Structure 1
Amino acid sequence: MVDFATVSALLDLYSAYAATVDSSDWDHWPDFFLEDGTYRLQPRENFDAGLPLCLLALESKAMIRDRVYGVKETMYHDPYYQRHVVGIPRILSVTATPAGEEIEAEANYIVFRTKRDGLTEVFNAGRYRDVIRRTEDGLKFRSRLCVYDSDLIPNSVIYPI
Protein backbone atom coordinates (compact mmCIF):
# COMPACT_ATOMS: atom_id res chain seq x y z
CA MET A 1 0.00 0.00 0.00
CA VAL A 2 1.26 3.46 -0.93
CA ASP A 3 0.95 6.27 1.61
CA PHE A 4 -1.12 9.40 1.03
CA ALA A 5 1.94 11.67 0.81
CA THR A 6 3.31 9.64 -2.12
CA VAL A 7 -0.03 9.66 -3.94
CA SER A 8 -0.36 13.39 -3.37
CA ALA A 9 3.17 14.05 -4.66
CA LEU A 10 2.46 11.93 -7.73
CA LEU A 11 -0.76 13.82 -8.47
CA ASP A 12 1.12 17.09 -8.10
CA LEU A 13 3.85 15.91 -10.50
CA TYR A 14 1.33 14.96 -13.18
CA SER A 15 -0.71 18.15 -12.85
CA ALA A 16 2.38 20.40 -12.75
CA TYR A 17 3.77 18.70 -15.85
CA ALA A 18 0.51 19.26 -17.77
CA ALA A 19 0.30 22.88 -16.62
CA THR A 20 3.89 23.53 -17.70
CA VAL A 21 3.52 22.17 -21.23
CA ASP A 22 0.03 23.68 -21.65
CA SER A 23 1.40 27.12 -20.76
CA SER A 24 4.37 26.70 -23.15
CA ASP A 25 6.81 27.10 -20.26
CA TRP A 26 9.49 25.25 -22.21
CA ASP A 27 12.39 26.42 -20.06
CA HIS A 28 10.92 24.52 -17.09
CA TRP A 29 9.92 21.34 -18.94
CA PRO A 30 13.38 19.71 -18.46
CA ASP A 31 13.14 20.30 -14.69
CA PHE A 32 10.72 17.38 -14.47
CA PHE A 33 13.46 14.91 -15.47
CA LEU A 34 16.59 13.45 -13.89
CA GLU A 35 19.90 14.20 -15.62
CA ASP A 36 19.76 10.74 -17.23
CA GLY A 37 15.99 10.93 -17.68
CA THR A 38 14.38 9.87 -20.94
CA TYR A 39 11.35 11.06 -22.87
CA ARG A 40 9.86 8.99 -25.69
CA LEU A 41 6.84 9.05 -27.97
CA GLN A 42 5.94 5.60 -29.24
CA PRO A 43 2.99 4.27 -31.23
CA ARG A 44 0.89 1.70 -29.40
CA GLU A 45 1.41 -0.88 -32.14
CA ASN A 46 5.19 -0.84 -31.57
CA PHE A 47 4.80 -0.82 -27.78
CA ASP A 48 2.42 -3.79 -27.83
CA ALA A 49 4.73 -5.72 -30.17
CA GLY A 50 7.80 -4.98 -28.04
CA LEU A 51 9.40 -3.04 -30.89
CA PRO A 52 11.71 -0.19 -29.87
CA LEU A 53 10.96 2.28 -32.70
CA CYS A 54 9.73 5.63 -31.38
CA LEU A 55 8.61 8.79 -33.13
CA LEU A 56 10.78 10.78 -30.72
CA ALA A 57 13.44 9.48 -28.33
CA LEU A 58 15.28 11.89 -26.03
CA GLU A 59 17.84 9.94 -24.05
CA SER A 60 18.97 12.47 -21.44
CA LYS A 61 18.07 15.79 -19.86
CA ALA A 62 20.63 17.38 -22.19
CA MET A 63 18.68 16.07 -25.20
CA ILE A 64 15.46 17.34 -23.61
CA ARG A 65 17.05 20.78 -23.24
CA ASP A 66 18.14 20.61 -26.87
CA ARG A 67 14.54 19.90 -27.86
CA VAL A 68 13.48 23.02 -25.94
CA TYR A 69 16.04 25.02 -27.89
CA GLY A 70 14.65 23.59 -31.12
CA VAL A 71 11.05 24.41 -30.19
CA LYS A 72 11.92 27.96 -29.19
CA GLU A 73 14.63 28.91 -31.66
CA THR A 74 14.90 26.78 -34.78
CA MET A 75 11.66 25.04 -35.69
CA TYR A 76 9.29 26.83 -38.00
CA HIS A 77 5.70 25.80 -37.41
CA ASP A 78 2.19 27.12 -37.22
CA PRO A 79 1.79 27.96 -33.50
CA TYR A 80 -0.91 26.21 -31.53
CA TYR A 81 -2.13 25.82 -27.98
CA GLN A 82 -2.31 22.50 -26.15
CA ARG A 83 -4.58 21.38 -23.36
CA HIS A 84 -3.90 18.12 -21.53
CA VAL A 85 -6.53 16.10 -19.73
CA VAL A 86 -4.74 13.49 -17.64
CA GLY A 87 -6.38 10.65 -15.75
CA ILE A 88 -5.51 9.77 -12.19
CA PRO A 89 -2.21 7.88 -12.25
CA ARG A 90 -2.26 4.22 -11.34
CA ILE A 91 0.74 3.10 -9.31
CA LEU A 92 2.04 -0.18 -10.66
CA SER A 93 4.96 -0.65 -8.29
CA VAL A 94 7.17 1.05 -5.74
CA THR A 95 10.75 -0.17 -5.50
CA ALA A 96 13.64 0.78 -3.24
CA THR A 97 16.83 1.24 -5.29
CA PRO A 98 20.30 2.44 -4.28
CA ALA A 99 19.55 5.71 -6.10
CA GLY A 100 16.28 6.20 -4.24
CA GLU A 101 12.68 5.03 -4.23
CA GLU A 102 11.22 4.50 -7.70
CA ILE A 103 7.56 4.50 -8.63
CA GLU A 104 6.28 2.89 -11.78
CA ALA A 105 2.98 4.49 -12.79
CA GLU A 106 0.70 4.96 -15.75
CA ALA A 107 -2.08 7.37 -16.62
CA ASN A 108 -4.30 7.92 -19.62
CA TYR A 109 -4.07 11.27 -21.37
CA ILE A 110 -5.70 13.21 -24.14
CA VAL A 111 -4.24 16.34 -25.69
CA PHE A 112 -6.39 18.89 -27.48
CA ARG A 113 -4.84 21.30 -29.95
CA THR A 114 -6.17 24.71 -30.89
CA LYS A 115 -4.63 26.69 -33.70
CA ARG A 116 -5.06 30.43 -33.34
CA ASP A 117 -7.34 30.63 -36.36
CA GLY A 118 -9.10 27.28 -36.01
CA LEU A 119 -11.28 25.01 -33.98
CA THR A 120 -10.09 22.81 -31.15
CA GLU A 121 -9.33 19.23 -32.18
CA VAL A 122 -8.18 16.04 -30.53
CA PHE A 123 -4.45 16.04 -31.18
CA ASN A 124 -3.18 12.95 -29.38
CA ALA A 125 -4.51 10.31 -27.02
CA GLY A 126 -2.81 7.49 -25.20
CA ARG A 127 -1.17 6.67 -21.91
CA TYR A 128 1.94 7.64 -20.03
CA ARG A 129 4.17 4.81 -18.79
CA ASP A 130 6.49 6.41 -16.26
CA VAL A 131 9.32 5.54 -13.92
CA ILE A 132 9.61 8.26 -11.28
CA ARG A 133 12.34 8.64 -8.69
CA ARG A 134 11.99 10.37 -5.34
CA THR A 135 14.79 12.94 -5.00
CA GLU A 136 15.68 15.71 -2.56
CA ASP A 137 13.91 18.07 -5.00
CA GLY A 138 10.75 15.97 -5.13
CA LEU A 139 9.58 13.43 -7.69
CA LYS A 140 11.38 13.42 -11.06
CA PHE A 141 10.90 11.33 -14.18
CA ARG A 142 13.59 8.75 -14.82
CA SER A 143 11.60 7.85 -17.91
CA ARG A 144 8.42 9.12 -19.51
CA LEU A 145 7.04 6.99 -22.31
CA CYS A 146 4.03 8.43 -24.13
CA VAL A 147 2.30 5.53 -25.85
CA TYR A 148 -0.10 7.09 -28.32
CA ASP A 149 -3.06 5.08 -29.60
CA SER A 150 -3.39 6.08 -33.24
CA ASP A 151 -0.99 5.04 -35.96
CA LEU A 152 -1.91 8.29 -37.69
CA ILE A 153 -0.73 11.51 -36.12
CA PRO A 154 -0.40 15.04 -37.46
CA ASN A 155 2.61 15.42 -39.73
CA SER A 156 4.66 16.94 -36.95
CA VAL A 157 4.69 16.81 -33.19
CA ILE A 158 6.43 19.99 -32.06
CA TYR A 159 5.52 20.37 -28.39
CA PRO A 160 5.87 17.70 -25.70
CA ILE A 161 2.91 15.44 -25.09
Structure 2
Amino acid sequence: MLDFETYQQVLALYADYASVVDNNEWDKWPEFFTDACIYKIQPRENFDRGFPLATLAFESKGMLKDRVYGMTETIFHDPYYQRHVVGAPRILRVDGGRIEAEANYAVFRTKPDELTTVFNAGRYLDTIRSTPDGLKFESRICVFDSEMIANSIIYPI
Protein backbone atom coordinates (compact mmCIF):
# COMPACT_ATOMS: atom_id res chain seq x y z
CA MET A 1 0.00 0.00 0.00
CA LEU A 2 1.25 3.46 -0.89
CA ASP A 3 0.77 6.31 1.57
CA PHE A 4 -0.75 9.62 0.48
CA GLU A 5 2.50 11.62 0.69
CA THR A 6 4.40 9.15 -1.49
CA TYR A 7 1.56 9.09 -4.02
CA GLN A 8 1.78 12.89 -4.20
CA GLN A 9 5.51 12.51 -4.92
CA VAL A 10 4.69 10.07 -7.74
CA LEU A 11 2.21 12.59 -9.18
CA ALA A 12 4.87 15.31 -9.00
CA LEU A 13 7.41 13.04 -10.73
CA TYR A 14 5.02 12.47 -13.63
CA ALA A 15 4.04 16.14 -13.89
CA ASP A 16 7.63 17.40 -13.66
CA TYR A 17 8.79 14.89 -16.28
CA ALA A 18 6.10 16.04 -18.73
CA SER A 19 6.93 19.69 -18.08
CA VAL A 20 10.65 19.17 -18.74
CA VAL A 21 10.15 17.34 -22.05
CA ASP A 22 7.41 19.74 -23.19
CA ASN A 23 9.65 22.74 -22.47
CA ASN A 24 12.75 21.30 -24.14
CA GLU A 25 14.77 21.31 -20.91
CA TRP A 26 16.83 18.41 -22.20
CA ASP A 27 19.69 18.63 -19.70
CA LYS A 28 17.16 17.91 -16.93
CA TRP A 29 15.63 14.86 -18.63
CA PRO A 30 18.30 12.27 -17.65
CA GLU A 31 18.09 13.43 -14.03
CA PHE A 32 14.66 11.79 -13.72
CA PHE A 33 16.41 8.40 -13.92
CA THR A 34 18.70 6.31 -11.75
CA ASP A 35 22.25 5.77 -13.04
CA ALA A 36 21.46 2.18 -14.03
CA CYS A 37 18.13 2.56 -15.80
CA ILE A 38 16.09 1.41 -18.76
CA TYR A 39 14.22 3.72 -21.12
CA LYS A 40 12.39 2.20 -24.08
CA ILE A 41 9.86 3.30 -26.63
CA GLN A 42 8.25 0.12 -27.86
CA PRO A 43 5.28 -0.77 -30.08
CA ARG A 44 2.41 -2.46 -28.29
CA GLU A 45 2.49 -5.41 -30.67
CA ASN A 46 6.10 -6.23 -29.75
CA PHE A 47 5.52 -5.64 -26.04
CA ASP A 48 2.41 -7.84 -25.92
CA ARG A 49 4.20 -10.68 -27.72
CA GLY A 50 7.29 -10.41 -25.53
CA PHE A 51 9.50 -9.35 -28.44
CA PRO A 52 12.48 -7.21 -27.36
CA LEU A 53 12.57 -4.96 -30.46
CA ALA A 54 12.04 -1.32 -29.48
CA THR A 55 12.01 1.88 -31.52
CA LEU A 56 14.45 3.44 -29.02
CA ALA A 57 16.20 1.65 -26.15
CA PHE A 58 18.68 3.03 -23.62
CA GLU A 59 20.24 1.18 -20.68
CA SER A 60 21.87 3.84 -18.50
CA LYS A 61 21.76 7.50 -17.59
CA GLY A 62 24.95 7.89 -19.65
CA MET A 63 23.08 6.69 -22.75
CA LEU A 64 20.29 9.19 -22.01
CA LYS A 65 22.87 11.98 -21.82
CA ASP A 66 24.30 10.83 -25.17
CA ARG A 67 20.79 11.03 -26.62
CA VAL A 68 20.45 14.59 -25.33
CA TYR A 69 23.72 15.49 -27.04
CA GLY A 70 22.53 13.89 -30.27
CA MET A 71 19.15 15.66 -30.14
CA THR A 72 20.63 19.06 -29.46
CA GLU A 73 23.91 18.98 -31.39
CA THR A 74 23.75 16.52 -34.29
CA ILE A 75 20.17 15.75 -35.37
CA PHE A 76 18.63 18.22 -37.81
CA HIS A 77 14.86 18.17 -38.30
CA ASP A 78 11.84 20.38 -38.86
CA PRO A 79 11.15 22.15 -35.57
CA TYR A 80 8.11 21.14 -33.57
CA TYR A 81 6.59 21.46 -30.14
CA GLN A 82 5.19 18.60 -28.17
CA ARG A 83 2.66 18.54 -25.36
CA HIS A 84 2.05 15.58 -23.05
CA VAL A 85 -1.29 14.75 -21.48
CA VAL A 86 -0.72 12.10 -18.83
CA GLY A 87 -3.39 10.25 -16.88
CA ALA A 88 -3.19 9.70 -13.15
CA PRO A 89 -0.71 6.94 -12.40
CA ARG A 90 -2.11 3.65 -11.21
CA ILE A 91 0.04 1.96 -8.58
CA LEU A 92 0.48 -1.71 -9.38
CA ARG A 93 2.93 -2.79 -6.70
CA VAL A 94 4.94 -1.38 -3.82
CA ASP A 95 7.95 -3.32 -2.60
CA GLY A 96 10.23 -1.52 -0.16
CA GLY A 97 11.79 1.44 -1.99
CA ARG A 98 10.42 0.38 -5.38
CA ILE A 99 7.07 1.34 -6.90
CA GLU A 100 5.61 -0.19 -10.06
CA ALA A 101 3.11 2.11 -11.77
CA GLU A 102 1.43 2.71 -15.10
CA ALA A 103 -0.26 5.71 -16.69
CA ASN A 104 -1.83 6.45 -20.06
CA TYR A 105 -0.32 9.22 -22.14
CA ALA A 106 -0.94 11.14 -25.33
CA VAL A 107 1.67 13.32 -26.99
CA PHE A 108 0.50 16.06 -29.34
CA ARG A 109 2.87 17.60 -31.87
CA THR A 110 2.62 21.06 -33.37
CA LYS A 111 4.80 22.20 -36.23
CA PRO A 112 4.91 25.89 -37.12
CA ASP A 113 2.19 26.74 -39.66
CA GLU A 114 0.48 23.34 -39.21
CA LEU A 115 -2.41 22.06 -37.14
CA THR A 116 -1.69 20.11 -33.99
CA THR A 117 -1.79 16.34 -34.43
CA VAL A 118 -1.67 13.33 -32.15
CA PHE A 119 1.96 12.23 -32.36
CA ASN A 120 2.00 9.23 -30.04
CA ALA A 121 -0.40 7.59 -27.58
CA GLY A 122 0.02 4.69 -25.24
CA ARG A 123 0.98 3.89 -21.68
CA TYR A 124 3.98 4.25 -19.45
CA LEU A 125 5.07 1.16 -17.54
CA ASP A 126 7.33 2.44 -14.81
CA THR A 127 9.51 1.16 -12.02
CA ILE A 128 10.21 4.03 -9.65
CA ARG A 129 12.96 3.89 -7.05
CA SER A 130 13.18 5.93 -3.85
CA THR A 131 16.63 7.56 -3.73
CA PRO A 132 18.29 10.13 -1.45
CA ASP A 133 17.50 12.67 -4.22
CA GLY A 134 13.80 11.74 -4.32
CA LEU A 135 11.86 9.42 -6.60
CA LYS A 136 13.58 8.42 -9.86
CA PHE A 137 12.65 6.18 -12.75
CA GLU A 138 14.59 2.94 -12.66
CA SER A 139 12.72 1.83 -15.75
CA ARG A 140 10.34 3.64 -18.09
CA ILE A 141 8.82 1.64 -20.93
CA CYS A 142 6.67 3.75 -23.27
CA VAL A 143 4.37 1.27 -25.00
CA PHE A 144 2.70 3.04 -27.91
CA ASP A 145 -0.58 1.76 -29.34
CA SER A 146 -0.20 2.32 -33.07
CA GLU A 147 1.69 -0.11 -35.26
CA MET A 148 2.78 2.91 -37.27
CA ILE A 149 4.87 5.79 -35.98
CA ALA A 150 5.80 9.16 -37.36
CA ASN A 151 8.82 9.32 -39.66
CA SER A 152 11.12 9.77 -36.70
CA ILE A 153 11.01 9.99 -32.95
CA ILE A 154 13.55 12.55 -31.88
CA TYR A 155 12.45 13.71 -28.44
CA PRO A 156 11.62 11.54 -25.43
CA ILE A 157 8.03 10.44 -24.98
Instruction: Please say whether Structure 1 and Structure 2 have the same fold, judged by a TM-score greater than 0.5.
Output: yes
After superposition, the CA RMSD in angstroms is: 0.5
Of the three residues 109, 132, 135, the one matched with 1:113 is 109
Q: Which residue of 2 is the match for residue 131 of structure 1?
A: 127
Q: Which residue of 1 is the match for residue 9 of structure 2?
A: 9
Could you tell me which amino acid in structure 1 is paired with residue 114 of structure 2?
A: G
| Distance (whole Å) between structure 2 residues aligned to residue 95 and residue 155 of structure 1 | 39
Report the identity percentage: 64
Query: Would you identify which runs of 4 or more consecutive aligned residues in structure 1 move more than 3 Å?
Result: none
1:20 offset after TM fit, Å?
0.2
TM-score by length of 1: 0.96
1:139 offset after TM fit, Å?
0.3
Q: Which residue of 2 is the match for residue 86 of structure 1?
A: 86
Q: Which residue of 1 is the match for residue 68 of structure 2?
A: 68
1:117 offset after TM fit, Å?
1.9
| Distance (whole Å) between structure 1 residues aligned to residue 138 and residue 47 of structure 2 | 18
Q: 5+ residue gaps in structure 2?
A: none
TM-score by length of 2: 0.99
1:43 offset after TM fit, Å?
0.2
| Distance (whole Å) between structure 1 residues aligned to residue 30 and residue 79 of structure 2 | 21
**1:46-98: per-residue Cα shift (whole Å, max 9, x none)?**
010011110000110000000000000000101100000000000000112xx
